[in-house]
Chains A and B, each alone.
Chain A
Amino acid sequence: MQALALIIVAMNEGDHGSAKSRRRVFLRSALAIAAMPLLPAHAEAGALRIGLTPVFLDDQLSFLTRWRAWLERQLKRPVVFVQRGNYREVLDLIRGGKIDFAWICGYPYVRYRHELRLVAVPLWRGRPYYQSYLIVPADDAKSNSLTDLRGKVFAYSDPDSNSGYLYPQYRLTALGENPSTFFSRHFFTWGHRKVIEAVGAGLADGGAVDGYVWETLAEFHPKLTGATRIIERSPEFGHPPFAARADIAELELRQFRAVLLGMSSDTEGAELLRLLRLDGFVAGRGSLFNEIARMAARVRRT
């Protein structure tokens, strides 16, 4: 993971020119070259650049390698995954046209709907929906709703996450509370998995996470989720979708959508979906995210 992070920095360095010292540039190049087999074509012309965010377990490198190889075979062109420390940076990249596609949350999708194009929505448990979970440490038997967490420490995943930020904000707003003063302290972990870790360790008294991530993690790392307890499940929202930059070529969009939609009917693709604990992708409609848009509007008003 660390090596990957370095490479990403190295790839990004081109954007900022060569103000850095020679040594550091060399070091990064060396690292980048060393990691070539994993993520090649960082400067490859014609590579499809796909931004990833922690709307799924994006820290499983072996899975990403397999998935990228599969996508390259399907698309018959190089594919580059681009990961960043938070949603915002990925969004900036796609809004600025620096990447072609991104798997993002429904919340930023509705916010920048006019700058993005919907590509596909994952099917989780057969439907394109997911929930936000409010969790508390497993050893906290007293807290049973969000209101019980008044004056406590709360962990959000990312300010651009629906399940990990918007929903609890909306809930508090709907309850007539001021989300910025309801908790004594809050912090962002920049990832759903880390919210689960923070709550499990007792660092935060409560947290909001992507229900799909929580359930998936419960299968892979039951210890992590076992240290937390779900006290509230949100209504269903549109599952974080794949979006494309607004000026994407129609052909590229269709090709990529077709690959995603055909994933479940391909042997390797189905295996990859199984690892993601997803059932496939559907084209989806923008209206799937209307509820998120409504919540966002409500929170913004207050």
Chain B
Amino acid sequence: MAAVLGTALAVTAALVTREYDEMSQNLEAHAKSLARVLANTLVAPVLHDDIWRAYEIIQSARDPAAIAPELQADVVLVTDSEYRVFVSSRPRAFPIGSSLASQGGAYGRLRAAMLEGKPTEQKVIDPADSAHYFVMSPLVADGVALGHVVLGYSKISFLPRFIGLVGRAALVTLLVLIVIMPIAWVSARRTGAPLLALAEAMRHVPGGLEVARLAELPASRDEIGQLGDAFVRMVGELKHKQELESQMLVSERLAAVGRLSAGIAHEINNPLGGMLTAIKTWQRHGSGDPMAGQTLSLLERGLDQIRHTVAALLVETKPEDRAFQPADIDDLLILVEAEARARLVHVVVESSLVAPLPLRATLLRQILLNLLLNAVAAAEQGGLVQLNAEAKDGKLKLAVCNDGQHIPDDQLAYLFEPFASGREKGHGLGLWIVYQIVQQLNGGLFVESEPGGCTTFRVEIPYVEPA
């Protein structure tokens, strides 16, 4: 926009300057020719001392109702050979016989100018401190200068025309701008808007990658379009990297938690085993003291609970196990049914499994049971839980989803850690167990939770087809 304005102004200024030069040249040429004509005409009246005739001539050179007032001499002076006023167009200001020097100012200097140079040539005098400039033509008869004709032009009268000129130029510029501005505006918007959108999208990097990814960027083939495409790719990769990083963070934390809990479990298990054996030994061979028996029984129950908890923390895999069969899923449904019925949750199964898979049935049943119970507990009252199972590309893929409450992002990161459950029911180890088993089976565990949608747990476990 500024460029348009600047160009318009520059062009206008150039035109005005040109016009100004032309105008002043015209004016000077006009003044010179008028002075020459007057000088020729005035020779006879001056020679014959005919003041009235000279006056009539210089009056006729002035048109009081001129169309171009700046072409009007403000004052016409005829001087004699003594540099005194012979006659002037303004007799009151320049009386007959008065000396130019007595006028002072620029007029005083005219006399000096008349003496300079060849007495028979035209001169243009433009005193800087005067409101007038002068064109002088000598009255020459037979090679002798009888006097001079001086045309005084007002510099000020030149202004109105110049101002008019500038005004016209400004008007034209304005009209052009009125035409060009909307075009320029539209074009600037077409260029600027995509860039602004891009800049706005970039503002969200790296904090709000999702917002940045979903930003509406121009889909054009030009450079800006390419820039937008590159930006979208970059944001996609950044997001992917961020996701990887957070996943790694989660996995590392889970691994650390796993090592810690395994270590603690071992440390607890050893004395625990001793303590339980001691209690059993006392119960078998003890004195039969009812008080001690009661106390030890209490101790045994507590220690048993500790053992169960520790055993859950430390998922031990047993190498011998049968293969996982499609019928296992039906069994699990029966196990979950009571709970589901109590909450009026409908459980739907879509299974494409037809043959047994070379995976350990106990572990998979544990995984599925945990996920299904969680899902039933999380689903809305009278809601829906869906289980999908398929074997594909050497992987068993299980997905359990429920239509229950959305799990916020900040909780997702800690979801698989022991005792992370927000629920009052349960020991908070279900998902930890699922995670441990999946880890041991070299599988993957994913969770997706969309607000207003489903929360889905996916498990992928690789298996090797027996040859």
Contact stretch, chosen from A30-38, A87-95, A160-168, A180-188: A180-188
| A104 CA to B3 CA, complexed, in Å | 80
Which residue from A184, A188, A202, A205 sits with its C-beta under 8 Å from B52? A188
Complex Cα gap A105–B87 (Å): 29
Contact B96 A198 (CB under 8 A): no
CB of B285 within 8 A of chain A?
A: no
> Is residue A190 contacting chain B, with contact meaning CB distance below 8 A?
yes
User: Residue A277 at the B interface, CB < 8 A?
Assistant: no
Q: Is the CB of A189 within 8 A of B97?
A: no
B51 contacts A by Cβ under 8 Å: yes
Contact in complex: A201, B50 (CB < 8 Å) = no
B50 to chain A, nearest CB (A): 7
For B28-58 the 0/1 string (1 means CB < 8 A from A) is 0000000000000000000001111001000
> With a CB–CB cut-off of 8 A, which chain A residues contact B97?
153, 184-185
Is B52's CB under 8 angstroms from A153's CB? Answer: no
Q: Is the CB of A153 within 8 A of B96?
A: yes
Distance (Å) between the CB of B49 and the closest chain A CB? 7
B182 at the interface (CB under 8 A from A): no
Q: Are A202 and B92 in touch, CB under 8 angstroms?
A: yes
A204 proximity list for chain B (CB < 8 A) = 91, 96
Question: Chain A: which residue is nearest B45 at the CB level?
Answer: A187
How close is A108's CB to chain B, nearest CB, in angstroms?
20
Chain B residues, CB < 8 A from A194: 52
Closest-CB distance, A87 to chain B (whole angstroms): 15
Which of chain A's residues have a CB closer than 8 A to the CB of B49? 187
Bound form: Cα–Cα A214–B366 in Å: 139
Interface membership of A203, Cβ < 8 A:
yes
When chains A and B are docked, how far (Å) is the Cα of A154 from the Cα of B50?
A: 13
Count A interface residues, CB 8 Å: 15
- Count of A-B residue pairs with CB < 8 Å: 36
Cβ-defined contact, B55 with A153, below 8 A = no
A135 in the interface (beta carbon within 8 A): no
CB proximity to B under 8 Å, residues A7-53: none
Q: Give, as a whole number of angstroms, the nearest-CB distance from B433 to chain A.
A: 124
The verdict on B160 contacting chain A, using a C-beta distance below 8 Å, is no
Fill in one digit per residue for A151-174: 1 if any B CB lies within 8 Å of its CB, else 0: 001010000000000000000000
When C-beta atoms are compared, the residue in chain A nearest to B88 turns out to be: A203
Q: What is the CA–CA distance of A170 and B51 in the complex, to the nearest angstrom?
A: 23
Q: Is B95 an interface residue (CB 8 A)?
A: yes
For A188, what are the chain B residues with a Cβ–Cβ distance below 8 Å? 50, 52
Q: Which residues of B are found within 8 Å of A198, using beta-carbon distances?
A: 52, 55
CA distance A160 to B97 in the complex (A): 26
Q: Write out, one digit per residue, whether chain B residues 72-93 have a CB within 8 A of any chain A CB (1) or not (0).
A: 0000000000000001000110
Query: Taking each of A155, A185, A190, A205, which has the highest tally of chain B beta carbons within 10 Å of its own beta carbon?
Result: A185
Q: How far, in whole Å, are A201 and B64 apart by their CA atoms in the complex? A: 14
Assembled-state Cα–Cα distance A190/B52 (Å): 9
CB closest chain-B residue, reference A189: B52
A185 to B98 CA separation, bound complex (whole angstroms): 11
| Cα separation A188 to B48 with both chains bound (whole Å) | 11
Which of chain B's residues have a CB closer than 8 A to the CB of A189? 52
Q: Mark B97-114, 1 if CB is under 8 A from A, else 0.
A: 100000000000000000
Closest chain A CB from B117 CB (angstroms): 30
Inside 8 A of B96's CB, which chain A residues have their CB?
Answer: 153, 184-185, 203-204
Query: Nearest-CB distance from A140 to chain B (Å)?
Result: 10
Complex Cα spacing A276 to B438, Å: 137
Q: Once the chains are docked, how many angstroms separate the CA of A198 from the CA of B92? A: 11
A185 & B92 in contact (Cβ 8 Å cutoff):
no
Restricting to A69-114, which residues have a CB under 8 Å from any CB of B?
none
Give, as a whole number of angstroms, the nearest-CB distance from A194 to chain B. 6
CB-CB under 8 A from A190, the residues of chain B are 52
Instruction: Report B84 CB to chain A, min CB distance, Å.
Output: 10
Across the interface, which residues of A come within 8 angstroms of B87, CB to CB?
203
Q: Which residues of A contact B51 (CB under 8 A)?
A: 153, 185, 187, 203
Distance (whole angstroms) from the CB of B280 to the closest CB of chain A: 148
Least CB distance from B213 to A in Å reads 91
Beta-carbon contact of B50 and A202 below 8 Å: no
CB distance from A213 to the nearest CB of B (A): 16
CB distance from B352 to the nearest CB of A (A): 120
Report the minimum CB–CB distance from B86 to chain A (whole Å). 9
Residue ID in chain B nearest A184 by CB atoms: B97
Query: Would you list the 4 A-B pairs with minimal beta carbon distance, nearest first?
Result: A187-B51, A202-B92, A203-B91, A202-B91
A sample of 10 more A-B contacts (CB under 8 A), given A187-B52, A188-B52, is A153-B51, A184-B96, A185-B96, A187-B49, A187-B51, A198-B52, A201-B91, A201-B92, A203-B51, A203-B91
27 inter-chain pairs at a CB distance below 8 angstroms, sorted by A residue, are A153-B51, A153-B95, A153-B96, A153-B97, A155-B52, A184-B96, A185-B97, A187-B49, A187-B50, A187-B51, A187-B52, A188-B50, A189-B52, A190-B52, A194-B52, A198-B52, A198-B55, A201-B55, A201-B91, A201-B92, A202-B91, A203-B51, A203-B55, A203-B87, A203-B96, A204-B91, A205-B95
